[in-house]
Amino acid sequence: MRTPAGNAQLALLLEVAGTPKPGNVDRHRDLGDLRFEHFLAGTVGTRRGLEMAENGSAVGSAFERAVAGMGDQGGGNTQFGALVLLVPLVRAASEELSQPVAEAVVEGTTVADAAAFYRAFEHVDVFVSDPPPDAEPLDVRRGTAAVPHLEDRGLTLLEVMELGAAGDDVAREWVTGFERSFAAAQRLATADGPITDRAAETYLSALAERPDTLVAKKHGEDVARSVTDRAAALLEADALSRDREGVETFADDLVSRGINPGTTADLTAAGLFIALEHEAIEI
């Protein structure tokens, strides 16, 4: 029987194996120096941190350990955002994987958890938008150097996420009870076919639902909206069952343009974990 940590690793593997997954690495597509095998190796590296979360360690320290292990491969950042979601969900699963329990886990985070979260940025290069001038002391790219400012303000990890939630849908999950992650799990449970196909369908549905915030940060709101509109048009045409070529073309186009909806992939991984834990999908 798989443990929550095992299911979290399996969720990461299933997410990257789903194809076509427009704009992101999948088993048929790489992104320059970031390749499919890097995601496999990154997943292996997360094991100790996820086991720490399962065994009741603080969210921050478990997250930092998972990120450090993930980064121990040649591709760099593979699943940072997914781990922001998975670590508290794994922690919740040690009791009961429900939205109220997940909310209680993040509400119980501390300043020390926030400090560990900042240190995790020293283990791997993560794309982050430039902060407004008044927020510069709390720029996550400063890593450990920002910790005294966190401590001076007494910011918990949940409060850090609240500061970023308006422009980052991974952070937003922390303040909305992981609503899109649980919605993705429901989609996975009701879809048909192999799990990797369901993962790809769920990814496209989530992309059609709301502009990807990583795309918005890198390329602007207009590009993010155009990607969402195109995904929605494909879904309206029932492209996944009748025009797979259309989705494949969309996927290749985004890769060629360097547009990767990574936040949507993170949400898909979280949904896969929840579905696995609830035994809504079987492997």
Return the amino acid letter for 180. Answer: R
DSSP bridge partners of 34:
31
Residue 224 placed within a domain: yes
Q: What is the pLDDT of residue 32?
A: 87
Q: What is the pLDDT of residue 243?
A: 65
Residue 121 placed within a domain: yes
Q: What is the pLDDT of residue 241?
A: 54
Residue 199 placed within a domain: yes
Q: Which of 207, 192, 171, 60 is nearest to 119 (CA)?
A: 60
Return the amino acid letter for 13. Answer: L
Return the amino acid letter for 162. Answer: E
pLDDT above 80: residue 153:
yes
DSSP-based three-state secondary structure for 184: helix
For range 249-265, the mean pLDDT? 96
The total of structural domains in the chain comes to 1
Q: What is the pLDDT of residue 1?
A: 83
Residue 81 CB contacts under 8 Å (≥ 6 apart), including other chains: 170, 214, 262, 263, 265, 266
pLDDT above 70: residue 239:
no
pLDDT above 90: residue 231:
yes
213 by Cβ neighbours in 10 Å (0-12 / 13-18 / 19+) ranks as buried
Higher pLDDT pick, 220 / 135: 220
For range 132-136, the mean pLDDT? 81
Residue 282 placed within a domain: no
Cα distance between the two ends of the chain: 11
pLDDT above 50: residue 86:
yes
Average pLDDT score over the chain: 95
Residue 18 placed within a domain: yes
Report which secondary-structure segment, H or E, holds 105: helix 99-107
Confidence of residue 237 (pLDDT cuts 50, 70, 90): low
Residue 273 placed within a domain: yes
90 by Cβ neighbours in 10 Å (0-12 / 13-18 / 19+) ranks as buried
* Residue range of the domain that includes 9: 4-277
Task: Give CA–CA dist 91/105, Å, rounded.
Answer: 7
Task: Give CA–CA dist 197/180, Å, rounded.
Answer: 19
Q: What is the pLDDT of residue 136?
A: 84
Is 146:139 a contact under the CB 8 Å cutoff?
Answer: yes
pLDDT above 50: residue 50:
yes
Question: pLDDT by residue (tens digit) across 64-85?
Answer: 999 999 999 999 999 999 999 9
Tell whether the torsion through CA atoms of 25, 31, 35 and 38 is positive or negative.
negative
Q: What is the pLDDT of residue 257?
A: 96
Confidence of residue 25 (pLDDT cuts 50, 70, 90): very high
CB atoms within 10 A of CB 9: 22
% of the chain with per-residue pLDDT over 70: 98
For range 189-214, the mean pLDDT? 96
248 by Cβ neighbours in 10 Å (0-12 / 13-18 / 19+) ranks as middle
pLDDT above 70: residue 22:
yes
Residue 283 placed within a domain: no
CATH number for the domain spanning 125: value is 1.10.4200.10
